[in-house]
Structure 1
Amino acid sequence: MLKIFTTQLFGVFRKIQEQEEDRIEDCGRLLAQTIIGDGTIYIKGFDEMDAIAGVIMNSNEKLPSIQRYHEKVELEPEDCLLIFARTADDERLQRLVEATHSCGTSVLTIGAVEEDQPSKNEEFHIDMKIIYGLVPDDEGKRVGYPPFMCALYVYYALFFTVSEMLEEYEIER
């Protein structure tokens, strides 16, 4: 099972790399503009994706100007909210996107998109490409559902993209 899981997970990473490359570039540019424009990148995750904020905030490889988002944060137009959820149609994600857009803050969302449920944050959404478990079991169910690993992969894709952009402007990360 581990070999199947590993092969399938690498396949998901490859799909993200190949199919979301332009989005990652666009979203990286948005994050770089936030940093260069003295805004703050606020990070928020729902369910197990909340742990990604902790991982990033305690990492040596975090983006400059990044902070955890919480209800008392007053977002400004120069800020950007980076939201992680299992799926793009998560109701809490949608409510937060709508509330954030009303104050002029940019929003970047990351979550899996089902074919018939496109993201409402289409311009700045990265699809994690994982809806179900990766490994079929003996009863036909799918197990091994790692959205957190995919979200962390997307974060690093953004991190490398933004780092390259900041180097061009000679800004320290």
Structure 2
Amino acid sequence: MIKIFNTQLNGVFQKINNQETEIDIAARLLAQAILGEGKVYVKGFGDLKYFEEFATSSAERLPDSEKLITESVIDKTDRVLLMADVYDDAVIEYIADLDQQDIDYVLICNKDERISSMNFIDLSTPRALVPTEDFSRIITPHMMAMNYIYYILYATIKEMIDDENA
């Protein structure tokens, strides 16, 4: 089972790696707020709600970031990092609100035909990976994929900030 999981997980990471251009554009968009006068607000949905704390409070947190809460006042200098395992009504409604306010955002989510966001990164975990004896599947690694994408974004943003401050 471990070999199957490893093979499948490497496939997820490869799909993420194939989005290098999208990830670079997303990093640039988020870095604009950090290097400018804005903040990066982080909002998670579903299983990825738990990633908000890591992205805003860990030792390797995004600079100038904080959790996006109802009381947050955001403007055009700010950027939003949205993370969701499923593109559902809650995510759609949140994006509609950001669009109405003309706030730039990055959406990290599993692919859905309804997604029209310009700054989209496919989470690449639409289903469980490991088959079981009863032909069902287990282990849907949303958090592992998000962590991988996050660290690519983090490193790219850090490099941009360091270049700007050099």
Specify the TM-score bucket, using the shorter chain as the normaliser. over 0.9
Q: Percent identity?
A: 30
Matched ranges for 1:42-53 at <5 A? 42-53=41-52
Select the residue among 92, 95, 115 that pairs with 2:93: 95
2:28 corresponds in structure 1 to 29
1:120 corresponds in structure 2 to 116
**1:10 maps to amino acid:** N
Q: TM-score with structure 1 length normalisation?
A: 0.91
How far apart are residue 57 of structure 1 and its match? Answer: 2.3
Partners of 1:27 and 1:143 in 2: how far apart?
31
CA contact (8 A) 2:130 2:139 kept: yes
Q: Could you report, residue by residue, the CA deviation over 1:33-91 in whole angstroms, capped at 9, with x for unpaired residues?
A: 1111110100011122111011222311112110000111111111111111003x221
Matched ranges for 1:71-82 at <5 A? 71-82=70-81
Matched ranges for 1:15-164 at <5 A? 15-18=15-18, 20-87=19-86, 89-114=87-112, 117-121=113-117, 123-164=118-159
2:8 corresponds in structure 1 to 8
Determine helix, strand or coil for the equivalent of 1:169: helix
1:169 corresponds in structure 2 to 164
CA RMSD of aligned residues (A): 1.3
Q: What residue ranges of structure 2 are gaps of 5+ in the alignment?
A: none
Partners of 2:156 and 2:25 in 1: how far apart?
10
Partners of 2:69 and 2:56 in 1: how far apart?
14
Partners of 1:42 and 1:61 in 2: how far apart?
15
Runs of 4 or more consecutive aligned structure 1 residues displaced over 2 Å after TM superposition: none
Q: TM-score with structure 2 length normalisation?
A: 0.95
